[in-house]
């Protein structure tokens, strides 16, 4: 089967430079419209789909993203694996600003989001296994690509998915740390679970864009976040390009 890699870009990756555009899809699924146009292209000869999770320009807050429509649309366009890009706050000591991490676990603190296809309306109830929320083969592909490209990263991590759009309090981060979270972001769920429901291998490349609340003496400013994104997204893009060469 031909590999079609879908890339879901997060904050700081609303456009993807590199692929030659073949066409743009303005889709409406049975569960509504995805966040924006889906770009179909070829990147060094490899078929790719690109969707900006927050729309383009960046406008949709994390709790208003139609994750189900995004996943369904990518499935309908033939995605055989999904690489998600997430901007996150760093909790664990090695998760400093600018660090790339490939998480291996998730704790979900989100609420009120449409978080399943098996809701009894769209599809009959079914329980999916989410023991390992990220696809291990795809995670290893990313780690191998990082070695090939000489990109240093954290090879694991627990992603704590918060509701947002506000950032956390120190007490919330302290609790998340006690729970075992290494990273904090707002968009990791329900995306990962929905991909599993559709049986599409899914993994995330996280870019740490700020120390989580209380992890640095300074307050978190969007200027600082933008500066880290400016310096770090190029490496994320190079990492994805190297992953494609292994497909
Ligand atoms: N918290 C939650 N989500 C985030 C953060 C954060 O500190 N940084 C980027 N996304």
**pLDDT tens digits for 28-45?**
999 999 999 999 999 999
Distance 175 CA to ligand 1 centre (A): 15
Distance 52 CA to ligand 1 centre (A): 18
Q: Which residue has the tokens 């950032």?
A: 167
Compute the mean pLDDT over every residue in the chain, rounded to the nearest whole number.
96
Phi and psi of 236, rounded to 5°? -65, -40
- In this predicted structure, the answer to whether residue 99 has a pLDDT above a threshold of 90 is yes
- Alpha carbon 109 to its chain centroid, in Å, reads 16
Ligand 1 pocket, residues with Cβ under 6 angstroms: 87-89, 162, 167-168, 184-186, 209-210, 212
pLDDT at position 52: 96
Per-domain boundaries in the chain:
5-245
Which percentage of the chain shows pLDDT scores above 70?
A: 100
Q: Which residue has the tokens 């000869």?
A: 45
Distance CA 125, CA 99 (A): 39
pTM for the model stands at: 0.97
pLDDT at position 231: 92
- Alpha carbon 224 to its chain centroid, in Å, reads 21
Atom of ligand 1 lying closest to residue 62 CA: 3
The tokens for 148 are: 């090939």
Instruction: Return the SS3 of 46.
Output: strand
- In this predicted structure, the answer to whether residue 58 has a pLDDT above a threshold of 80 is no
Q: Give the helix/strand (H/E) hosting 224.
A: helix 222-244
Q: Say if residues 160 and 184 touch (Cβ distance below 8 Å).
A: yes
pLDDT at position 198: 98
**Residue 110 CB neighbours (<10 A):** 18
Superfamily in which the 5-245 domain is placed by CATH: Nucleoside phosphorylase domain (3.40.50.1580)
Per-residue model confidence as pLDDT tens digits over 167-225: 999 999 999 999 999 999 999 999 999 999 999 999 999 999 999 999 999 888 999 99
Atom of ligand 1 lying closest to residue 167 CA: 1
pLDDT at position 56: 79
Distance 88 CA to ligand 1 centre (A): 5
pLDDT at position 2: 92
Distance 41 CA to ligand 1 centre (A): 30
Confidence of residue 1 (pLDDT cuts 50, 70, 90): confident
Burial of 169 (0-12, 13-18, 19+ CB in 10 A): exposed
pLDDT at position 246: 80
């Amino acid at each position: 089967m031909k590999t079609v890699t879908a890339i879901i870009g997060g904050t700081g990756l609303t456009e993807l430079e590199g692929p030659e555009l073949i066409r743009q899809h303005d889709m409406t699924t049975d569960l509504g419209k995805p966040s924006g146009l889906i770009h179909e292209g070829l990147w060094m000869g490899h078929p790719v789909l690109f969707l900006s999770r927050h729309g383009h320009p960046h406008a949709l807050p994390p709790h208003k993203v139609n994750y189900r429509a995004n996943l369904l649309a990518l499935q309908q366009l033939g995605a055989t694996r999904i690489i998600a890009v997430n901007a996150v706050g760093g909790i664990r000591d090695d998760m400093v600003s600018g660090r790339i991490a490939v998480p291996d676990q998730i704790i979900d603190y989100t609420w009120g989001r449409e978080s399943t296809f098996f809701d009894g309306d769209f599809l009959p109830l079914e329980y999916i296994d989410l023991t390992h929320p990220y696809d291990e083969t795809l995670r290893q592909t990313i780690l191998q690509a990082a070695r090939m490209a000489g990109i240093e990263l954290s090879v694991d991590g627990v992603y704590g998915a918060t509701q947002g759009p506000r950032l956390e309090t120190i007490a919330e981060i302290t609790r998340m740390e006690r729970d075992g979270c290494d990273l904090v972001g707002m968009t990791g769920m329900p995306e990962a679970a929905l991909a599993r429901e559709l049986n599409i291998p899914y993994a995330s490349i996280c870019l740490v864009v700020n120390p989580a609340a209380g992890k640095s003496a300074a307050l978190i400013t969007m200027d600082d976040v933008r500066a880290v994104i400016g310096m770090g997204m190029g490496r994320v893009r190079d990492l994805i390009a190297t992953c494609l060469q292994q497909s």
